[in-house]
Chain A
Amino acid sequence: MEKYQLTLLLVMASLLSGQVYGRSEGGLITGLEAEKKMTKKWTVGMEADMRTRNDFKTMDRWSVGLYADYKCLKWVKASAGYVLLDNHFSEKREDYISAASNAKIKWRPSYWGFRHRFHASFTLSHKFSNNIRLSLRERWQYTYRPLATPERYKLDVAAQTMKLDGNYVRGAKGKNQLRSRFQIEYDRKRSRFTPYVNMELYNSWQTEKIRYNAGTDVKIGRHHVLTLFYRLQDIRQADDDDVPDMHYAGVTYKFKF
């Protein structure tokens, strides 16, 4: 087992090396999850998570969600759910030259705002005789950001003054994304650890970001599962140019009823 775990980690490390070229930050993901197997085919659950950014110093978002899984076949699982996200939207500043001054800045400070996310997915998986499980998950998600009226200021660099722009409105926006995740895990029965690596592509007509994850599930008795992971989030094409790449450390806890 140790041989496989080591191999997986080495594969992941080689995948991650040299992936991040631009500005990057560190962050933490912590999550709580509760899951109940209703029938042989149906499972429902709820989850909550919290993320930080800015090298762990700034809260990035909270979320709570509900989901349901349906095992169609031994190797096919369907899933759907809803997540309420409370985002700490990062500041946005735009430096520009104006005709009235040589340097001005439009600055929207960071603010908290909700988003709503609906998702549905299919997961295909196959476990080989050597305990290696390959899986492919295709997830569609729709995220809606309601209209908001955060503060925005206009700054005059020469005069060192800032003026509140009372007319600023950040319009509502909906976004569809297709997430494709390919995962390799070592899933040996009665083993406490289930290490895995995966790569997930976010597509919205173009690849917007790629996530690389390496981690392990740690089973603690029948009901408790702890997951420890590292995630590299490589931003390829963000709506906002200022979004940095992220290095996440993650720990989640799942309780299975």
Chain B
Amino acid sequence: MKKTILRLLSLFFAVTLFPSCENDDSSFSNYALVTDSSDDDDDDVPWDTIYIVYDGTVATVANDIHGYVTASGAHVTVSATQSTSGMLLVLSGSTPDGSLTVFRSRKYSILLNDVSITNGSGPAINNQCTKSLIVCCTPGTASVLADGATYAQRDYDQKATLFSEGQLYFRGTGTLTVHANSRNAIASDDYITFDDSTHVDIVVSPTGTNGLKANDGVFIHDGTLFIDVASPGGRGIRSEARTLISGGTVTVNTTGDCKIETVDGVADTSSAACIKSDSLFSMTGGVLTLTSSGDGGKGIRCQENIEISGGVLVAKTTGENNNSKPKALKSDTGIIIRGGSLTATVRKSWACDNGSESEDPRDHITVSGTPALSTITKKSVIISFD
């Protein structure tokens, strides 16, 4: 009996050790190991995380240990120009008459956490920092920003419902809806980048101007953007530099007619466009769907080349040609397609126009390589390499 028990015990000890070799760590096997010493290590610097909760006409501030924040009603100002720490502003709650204005000299983040801000007299969020602003949309949340029909006079720029002097990055998988009732919906005096699965809805009313506007470029690598512009002469995406689309799903609709202004007695006509780019427009991936229905409305209007090497681009105009010609793709220098697919259709004028005087539609687009499908007419261009 005794020996039997001891033998069973020995067997038990031996057997129980074997299955105990599994690791209970999280698996990050899909992460690439990098050794780049220049990798952004700013998470090592001290952080100031400040919580701002909007509630009607007041805003409550928490964890503002340095006293950066002042609030007048729900109009919140963050003055952290001397701060050397990192900063994260966490916004939540709702206000029909509030705003956030930030003065700062180092990059920082704003976390939109189901926040709704309407400012009847200016931008909902005005970033006066010339360094990067990362706007994070908390996964599973839906935030809303809206401006008013008029802006109060200030001694600093107020170019959009969400305006930034510095670069704008959108991160996080939450949803952000931006309404523009007076100026642009989202604007940066630097560049704007979408490189995460953020969902952004932009609605520009007839009294607004553009959807996205950037001085130094618009770069879309990921995310979902719906841009609806109803303003005369309004653009869904207005880039004063390059425009690059490498991923994501972008849908732009413009319904406005031409905007005619008289300057020094001379009439100046601006047509609406889903995308207007002052420099190269390049598409390497993603899905871009453009519809312009106003008089003279364009799909893409570019002062340099329009180059397509990947992705799916569908551009359609249905407007009249009273004050301007409604073209699906209009470039001053060239339209080149090397890959992906393009479907450009118009009801009037040219589907693709590269500035050539030729009446042959095939002279208005350069096809590099051998597409699987190629149909080029004046009002319809369908090319697919897929």
Contacts and interface: CB of A to CB of B under 8 A. Distances in A.
Interface of A: 28, 30, 50, 52-54, 56-59, 90-91, 93, 96-104, 107, 109-110, 153-155, 158, 160-164, 220-221, 224, 226, 251, 253
A99 B134 contact: yes
Contact of A160 (B9, B20, B31, B43): B31
Given A28-B16, A98-B43, A104-B43, A110 B33 contact: no
Contacts of A164: 33, 35
A163 B134 contact: no
B108 to A, nearest CB: 5
B110 to A, nearest CB: 10
Contact of A102 (B20, B32, B36, B171): B171
Given A104-B43, A251-B12, A160 B22 contact: no
B280 to A, nearest CB: 26
A118 B14 CA distance: 29
Interface of B: 1-2, 5-6, 9, 12-13, 16-17, 19-26, 28, 30-36, 39-43, 47, 86-88, 107-109, 111, 134, 136, 171-172, 195-196
A221 B40 CA distance: 68
User: Which secondary structure characterizes the binding site on chain A?
Assistant: strand
A91 B171 contact: no
A220 B2 contact: yes
Nearest to B40: A100
A59 B31 contact: no
A96 B20 contact: no
A91 B24 contact: yes
Contacts of B16: 28, 30, 52, 56
Given A57-B20, A103-B171, A253-B9, 9 more contacts: A52-B20, A58-B23, A59-B21, A100-B107, A102-B111, A154-B41, A163-B33, A220-B2, A251-B9
A56 B86 contact: no
Contacts of B195: 158
Contact of B20 (A58, A91, A162, A253): A58
A107 B5 CA distance: 45
Contacts of A52: 16, 20
Given A50-B17, A97-B136, A102-B134, A110 B25 contact: yes
Nearest to B9: A253
B23 A110 contact: yes
B42 A155 contact: no
A57 B24 contact: yes
B35 A163 contact: yes
